[in-house]
Amino acid sequence: MKMFNYDPPKPKKYRFDPKSNEPFKLSRSGLELYTNCPRCFYLDKRLGIAQPPGYPFTLNSAVDTLLKKEFDIHRAGKTAHPLMQKYGIDAVPFENKNLNSWRENFVGIQFLHRPSNLLITGAVDDIWADKDDNLMVVDYKATSTERSTDTTEEKWGSYFRQMEIYQWLLRQNGFKVSNTGYFVYCNGRKDKKAFDGKLEFDIEIVSHVGDGNWVEKTIVQAKKSLVSDEIPEPSESCDYCKYREAAEKVEIKSIDESNSTQKQGTLL
């Protein structure tokens, strides 16, 4: 079953034009792409050749939607969710007229970083607020793993950066933001005797003390890359670049061998 049509390059309106004075929208995931592989970032944002998309995480999306509904009930009642009480988090879900827009993909919280003329965006899952109106960024994560939560930088680095960009965006919009954010971590259970038409989760809250000092530096570096006419070198850790390089070598070798065979046939 075909899940998507991959048809590069992107239309020009989605590509960075170094001659344009209009702000260029760069999402949280775009900054993460630059962090992971400047070459793939440049190919995507400047040349319009994006990485092939993965399959949609429809079950994760369903968990997100249901959690939002659940926390919205407490938001309307200005009460703490039982999970917040269980983990001793003295806060309630934050209510704001812009929350639905902040949650929406391709809209999100926005801030124009004037030095780079990049419009930075990020769609949050949730925001909580303590009694002093300090906002706490909250992100929902759904998975199913046999292991206990491993929150090392190696495992959760992209999650941490995601949260820190949201914290940075809220601060740029004038809000007081706590350095501490939370992941509502839902782990699907595999130890049940049968499926019985339902999937059960163990749910815990994982805290993270964010440090967003890297965000603005990365924005500036990403802009410097975008205005350059040179394609960056491949990242050593990028699987997409490794695939492209391996495929190119095999293709070149195949062409060379084919040409060699044709020359020998001509001589005969």
Q: Where are the domains of the chain?
A: 12-227, 238-268
Give the ranges where the chain is alpha helix by DSSP (H).
28-36, 38-45, 58-77, 82-86, 99-103, 153-172, 213-227, 239-267
| Confidence check: pLDDT of 234 > 70 | yes
Architecture of domain 12-227: Alpha-Beta Complex (3.90)
Averaged pLDDT, 177-185: 97
Give the number of residues written for the chain.
Answer: 268
Residues 37, 238: contact at Cβ < 8 Å?
A: yes
Which pLDDT tens digit goes with each residue over 60-105?
899 999 999 999 999 999 999 999 999 999 999 999 999 999 999 9
How distant, in Å, are the alpha carbons of 16, 87, 122 from that of 119?
A: 12, 36, 10
pLDDT, residue 1, reads 44
pLDDT band at 266 (very low <50, low <70, confident <90, very high): low
Judge whether 96 and 150 are in contact, CB under 8 Å. Answer: no
CB atoms within 10 A of CB 81: 22
> How much is the pLDDT for 3?
55
The residue assigned the tokens 């590069």 is 8
222 vs 16: CA distance, rounded Å: 11
pLDDT tens by residue, 134-156: 999 999 999 888 766 678 888 89
**Which residues are bridge partners to 26 per DSSP?**
120
The lowest-confidence range among 107-116, 186-195, 257-266 is 257-266
pTM of full prediction above 0.85: yes
pLDDT at 261: 67
